[in-house]
Amino acid sequence: MTEPALVSAQPWSHLEARAGLLDRASVAATTIGGARVRIIPEPLQTERDGVRVQSIRLLFDDAETAARATSATLVGPAGDLVAEQSPAPDTTSVRWLVRAVDGPTDVTLAVPDLGDETVAFVLLPQRAWSVHVVHHSHFDFGYTDPQTAVISAQRSYLDSAVELAAATSEWPEAARFRWNVEALWAFADWERHRPAAKVAEFVRLVQQGSIGLSAMPYNLHTDTCSTEELHELLREARRIREQYGIDFTTAMQTDVPGQVAGLPDALHEVGVRYLAVAHNWAGRSMPHQNGALDLPRLFRWRTPAGNSVVVWMTDSPHGLAYMEGPMVGLTESYEVAEAYLPAYLTALATRGYPFPPGVFGAHGEEAEGRPGYPWSVLHLRTQGFMGDNGPARLHLSEVARQWNDTWTSPRLRVSTNEDFFAEAEAAHGDELVTVEGDWGDWWVEGVGSAAVPLALTREAQATVSDARSFSQAAAWLGGQAVPTERAESDRAWDAISMFNEHTWGASNSWTHGDEGYDSGERQWQWKVGQALTGHQRGRDLEEHALVYLADAVAPAPDALASIVLANASGATRTGAVRFLLKESTVPFTEHVALQDGRTGQSLPVVVDPQANALHRESGRWLTTHVADVPAFGFVRVDVVAADAAPEPPRTHDGQGSALRELFTIENEHLRVSVDPGTSTIRSVTERSTGRELVAQDAPAGFNAYVYDSYGSSGAGVNHLSNKLWSSDRLELLASRTTGGPAVLVERVSDAVEERLVYRFSAAGVDAVTVTLRLRHGEPRLRIANRLEKPVTRTKESAFFAFPFAAADPVVRYEVSGGVTGDGLAHVPGAPQHMRAIRHWVSVQDGDDAVVWVTKDAPLVHPGTISLPYAPFPASTSPSQPATIYSWLHNNVWDTNFPIEQGFSATFEYAVGVRADRSQPVEAVALQTTADLVQPMRAVPASGTTGLRDASAELLTLDDGRVQLVSVVATEDPRQSIVRLQSVADERVTLTLGVGQAIERAVRSTYLGDDAPGAIAVEQDRVRLTLEPFEAAAVRVTRRLPEDSAA
């Protein structure tokens, strides 16, 4: 009888998913005596009277029918195989033990108590399963409760883990309690809050294998990390290794469906060989339709640099990602586990995905065709309960003990990641498939829900890197590095990375409560606090470092002031620098000019007043343009007295000039023309070749603002966007509009640049203000788009379009720790409709090339705007591979991420071309990025006994395809770690020119440990080889003056 229901169905239910699991495990179904019966050949094995037996389970629709099925026969070539009936796990099924078969055997089942009908099927031999049940807590920093409560609970779980390990130390070995610390941050936090004796006992349990530690601090959107940050994430693992003698071999990443290309390289540097990932599709991930249907669960992930990790992957249709154990009953009772775990193993071995659509995260499309799991060793995650942030519980050990007392196979082991990988690699290491490339994050779209905090975090990433380089430059110049450089950097990275941690808010992120799922606003304020803190700490460290650098350089004796223009990159740079000349240094009544300290040559200067002048330092802003600032070095610019003020900027007359002239700017390299009717860039012409860079037949113009609204409303509907689906008819696209006509704000020519500013109105914003800059002598167009965006809960996205003209484009994207795109492998299943990039995209078309750089907004759609609802259909036509859509912001998620945002903020971009035709496109990419993202910095020279030279070049790289990421301190004040990143797709032999006497140089990791690899030192030259896209480091020991004297 059907039970009445006020609501007849729901998108997902773990009970329905379990029912579907039983269906997928069934080898046959029939009707006997009018009763439906399904047959599951189970992997359960034991012995009866010295005979090996395996089990089959008969499923009925009701308990009454099952109770009548008191006898059965299973007849094969050797006769009846039934040995005896075994207790069933529930009242609607019957379990029979039958003699084990050694090969596929044709059998016929009869249940005479029900009727005369029979059913034939093939009975397969059962493998000896070795199931490693990995007990951990999925650590969400928030989501289920405010962060303070969650963090406190996680500390308590580690206390419980120690207690339970002690309580079960005399139990059978496989059933002893073991715990896996998913996020190393949890241990480091617990360590700070517990006495030394308790910490020592915990460490002892780690060393004996009762507790496993993951090398990663927590679960992240690794695509939002910088390359340097990926390595900095492993500082705590390195510290714990050195302090306690714990070798890290494994790492975990949970929930986020995808990891960035550079992660294996970073893990390799601290000795990690294994990575266990659990990809929660959440209804917004479709890897199986992007090549992952055949991706094995156990495989080797190798980087182009040659480093690799062995990966174990689970995901939603394998059991709600990291909820595999709860889905098969391991958190409930032995009986429930015995009902579903055998069926799970059968379905896994025969059907690929054990669960059908209906399990959370994979609740829509069919996903048939995946091969069955081929091996007997299995990794199965479980929690304390079916939920995030669950506790450590004894229950699993109790289930495992009873299970192993009952069955000889499968064997359940309460296990660690380390133990699983050791067995799996020993058994199947030679059989593993190797894949290479980026493994993009399907959820990274959610970071667009906080455009401004994300931009601040990205700025902080660049600032910290440069700040450490400036600190070391001070020491290389004979001064002193910031004494607290490493500590301040660590604190900044801690906040930056915590913002990149995958929990952005509460389950019901729109709420304003004070506990549980409804503490949305409280959790979000904590999260934004991480971005603000990281940004401030980065700025503080940069100021600190620049002051130390300034103390290493003496001002010119006859100057009113001298300014140190510092270049943290590994390439000579020409560009603009802006600095505040304080009134306390030079009164407003005095006119000033600027001179290049190297030559005494006059420099161009533009003077601007201080903004918000009543509340900020009194002074005037000077902008100048300086050529050939040395790599990892500086130029001194001298402020001298002048008879008159600099020539003021020329503002073009909006009334007396032709419209086309007003909306056109050009310099030595580029000519840029704007269409004021559409507020888009009509043309960008490379003057050296006459080449048009803008596609003239694109769906949207160059730098066109595109605003989408969607026909869904997630306000108060948890996970709504994860339940929605759109066909290629784009049912959920409610509207799409572009910007209105432009109003000219200013057209200016000055000593530094040509500048065009215009403003337009559009949907989704109060206004957009666009500033285009062509600086004299620079092969780059700078674009600044300032949005004044109101708050709305209407589902929305905003894009800027950048359609490049190319007949046969090769498009590549910089991602954290590597490059992805045309001609490069990626891990099957990685999303291709959108991705988060670091900064640059290169478009090569035969001998021609152009580079696009984004400073603030990492999300891009390549070729077309894809609708942000599964299956993510293209919504512009045609798809043009050389078109980049910068995805500024969205609010499409209805959990975790904010559902509304408002801001007045500027999003900056640059378009770069070759300064000369021989320049590699990768070098153009790095130079254009450095100009926009890591500009040269200025600080007043303040040394009293410092360097009198007007410039210094401290480090050069002879290949423009290699980036100097940073130069950082070690424990030894004479040493620095030079961090490098190749963006070349081939092996590079690199020569570093060191502008200091060096005593020694060795290959090292980013964190300073010795690393393999040949290196040659010849006086002040260091030569090494970098593999494709390799992140490498060199630890340099400088020879100090006192060393030479000795």
Contact 941, 557 (CB under 8 A): no
Phi, psi for 31 (deg, rounded to 5):
-120, 125
pLDDT in tens, 981-1001: 999 999 999 999 999 999 999
Q: 246 and 197 in one domain?
A: yes
Q: 775 and 734 in one domain?
A: yes
Contact 277, 253 (CB under 8 A): yes
Distance from the first to the final alpha carbon of the chain:
97
Within 8 A by CB and 6+ apart from 305, the residues are: 265, 1026, 1027, 1028, 1029, 1030, 1031
Which of 969, 1020, 980 has its CA nearest to residue 999? 1020
What's the Rg (C-alpha) of the chain?
32
Give every strand in the sheet of 130-135, ordered side by side: 377-382, 130-135, 411-415
Residue 630 forms part of a structural domain = no
pLDDT, residue 10, reads 79
Query: Tokens 């992240």 correspond to what residue?
Result: 220
Q: 229 and 97 in one domain?
A: no
pLDDT, residue 3, reads 78
Whether the pLDDT of residue 481 is over 70: the answer is: yes
∠ Cα 468 930 926 (to 5°) = 115
Task: Report d(CA 17, CA 719) in Å as an integer.
Answer: 18
How far, CA to CA in Å, does 884 sit from each of 47, 704, 774, 879, 880? Answer: 64, 11, 21, 10, 9
Amino acid 158 reads: L
Contact 1024, 1013 (CB under 8 A): yes
Which of 799, 960, 816 has its CA nearest to residue 883? 799
Query: Tokens 């306690």 correspond to what residue?
Result: 244
Q: 1005 and 896 in one domain?
A: no
> Where a domain ends, among 97, 123, 149?
123
Contact 38, 58 (CB under 8 A): yes
- The answer to whether the peptide bond before residue 557 is cis (omega within 30 degrees of 0) is no
Residue 605 forms part of a structural domain = no
Q: 107 and 140 in one domain?
A: no
pLDDT in tens, 999-1041: 999 999 999 999 999 999 998 999 999 999 999 999 999 988 6
Helix 235-244 / helix 184-192 crossing angle, nearest 10 deg: 60
Q: 889 and 770 in one domain?
A: yes
Contact 44, 403 (CB under 8 A): no
Residue 603 forms part of a structural domain = no
pLDDT, residue 945, reads 80
Task: Report d(CA 57, CA 37) in Å as an integer.
Answer: 10
Confidence grade of residue 722 (pLDDT, cut at 50, 70, 90): confident
- The answer to whether the peptide bond before residue 410 is cis (omega within 30 degrees of 0) is yes
**Domain containing 994 — which CATH number?**
2.60.40
**Domain containing 824 — which CATH number?**
2.70.98.30
Helix 485-500 / helix 520-551 crossing angle, nearest 10 deg: 150
Task: Report d(CA 669, CA 574) in Å as an integer.
Answer: 14
Task: Tell me what the mean pLDDT of segment 135-164 comes to.
Answer: 98
Sign of CA dihedral 15, 17, 20, 26: negative
Residue 8 forms part of a structural domain = no
Q: Could you tell me the two tokens for 39?
A: 């047959």
Task: Report d(CA 906, CA 904) in Å as an integer.
Answer: 7
> Half-sphere exposure of residue 1001, counting CA atoms within 13 Å on the CB side?
24
How far, CA to CA in Å, does 352 sit from each of 20, 40, 439? Answer: 14, 16, 21
Bridge partners (DSSP) of residue 748 are 651, 755
Task: Tell me what the mean pLDDT of segment 411-419 comes to.
Answer: 99
Q: How many domains does the chain have?
A: 5
Contact 148, 514 (CB under 8 A): no
pLDDT in tens, 597-609: 999 999 999 999 9
Within 8 A by CB and 6+ apart from 785, the residues are: 703, 705, 768, 769, 770, 800, 906, 907, 908, 909
Task: Report d(CA 178, CA 165) in Å as an integer.
Answer: 6
Residue 262 forms part of a structural domain = yes
Whether the pLDDT of residue 737 is over 90: the answer is: yes
Q: 142 and 71 in one domain?
A: no
Q: 119 and 197 in one domain?
A: no
Q: 782 and 838 in one domain?
A: yes
pLDDT, residue 363, reads 65
Q: Do the bridges between strand 51-60 and strand 179-181 make them parallel or antiparallel, or are there none, so unpaired?
A: unpaired
pLDDT, residue 1046, reads 46
Whether the pLDDT of residue 144 is over 90: the answer is: yes
pLDDT, residue 9, reads 81
Could you count the other beta carbons within 10 Å of the beta carbon of residue 759? 18
Whether the pLDDT of residue 1043 is over 70: the answer is: no
Contact 855, 414 (CB under 8 A): no
Task: Tell me what the mean pLDDT of segment 404-410 comes to.
Answer: 98
Residue 608 forms part of a structural domain = no
Residue 211 forms part of a structural domain = yes
Task: Report d(CA 503, CA 492) in Å as an integer.
Answer: 19
Q: Could you tell me the two tokens for 467?
A: 């700040």
Residue 610 forms part of a structural domain = no
* DSSP code of residue 915: S
pLDDT in tens, 908-946: 999 999 999 999 999 999 999 999 999 999 999 999 887
pLDDT in tens, 868-908: 999 999 999 999 999 999 999 999 999 999 999 999 999 99
Task: Report d(CA 190, CA 1043) in Å as an integer.
Answer: 44
Q: Do the bridges between strand 73-76 and strand 79-80 make them parallel or antiparallel, or are there none, so unpaired?
A: antiparallel
pLDDT in tens, 195-238: 999 999 999 999 999 999 999 999 999 999 999 999 999 999 99
Whether the pLDDT of residue 364 is over 70: the answer is: no
Tell me what percent of the residues of the chain surpass a pLDDT of 90: 93
Q: 343 and 244 in one domain?
A: yes
Helix 184-192 / helix 196-208 crossing angle, nearest 10 deg: 150
Whether the pLDDT of residue 1042 is over 80: the answer is: no
> Where a domain ends, among 553, 582, 597?
553
Whether the pLDDT of residue 257 is over 60: the answer is: yes
Q: 373 and 276 in one domain?
A: yes
pLDDT, residue 785, reads 99
Which SS3 state, helix, strand or coil, does residue 373 take?
Answer: coil
What domain range is 529 assigned to?
Answer: 447-553
Contact 297, 314 (CB under 8 A): yes
CA 606 to chain centre: 41
Q: 259 and 188 in one domain?
A: yes
Helix boundaries (H) for 49-195: 63-68, 147-167, 184-192
Whole-structure pTM value: 0.97
> Where a domain ends, among 499, 522, 553?
553
Q: Give me the DSSP letters along 478-498.
A: TS---TTHHHHHHHHHHHHHH
Which of 885, 533, 446, 961 has its CA nearest to residue 705? 885
Least confident span in 279-288, 599-608, 618-627: 279-288
Could you count the other beta carbons within 10 Å of the beta carbon of residue 685? 17
Which SS3 state, helix, strand or coil, does residue 141 take?
Answer: coil
Could you count the other beta carbons within 10 Å of the beta carbon of residue 736? 18
Bridge partners (DSSP) of residue 680 are 675
Contact 1004, 1035 (CB under 8 A): yes
Query: Tokens 């990995």 correspond to what residue?
Result: 134
Whether the pLDDT of residue 271 is over 90: the answer is: yes
**Domain containing 258 — which CATH number?**
3.20.110.10
SS3 per residue for 408-447: CECEEEEECHHHHHHHHHHHHHHHCEEEECEECCCCHHHH
Task: Tell me what the mean pLDDT of segment 836-844 comes to.
Answer: 99
How far, CA to CA in Å, does 578 sit from each of 565, 630, 759, 930? Answer: 10, 18, 25, 16
pLDDT in tens, 701-711: 999 999 999 99
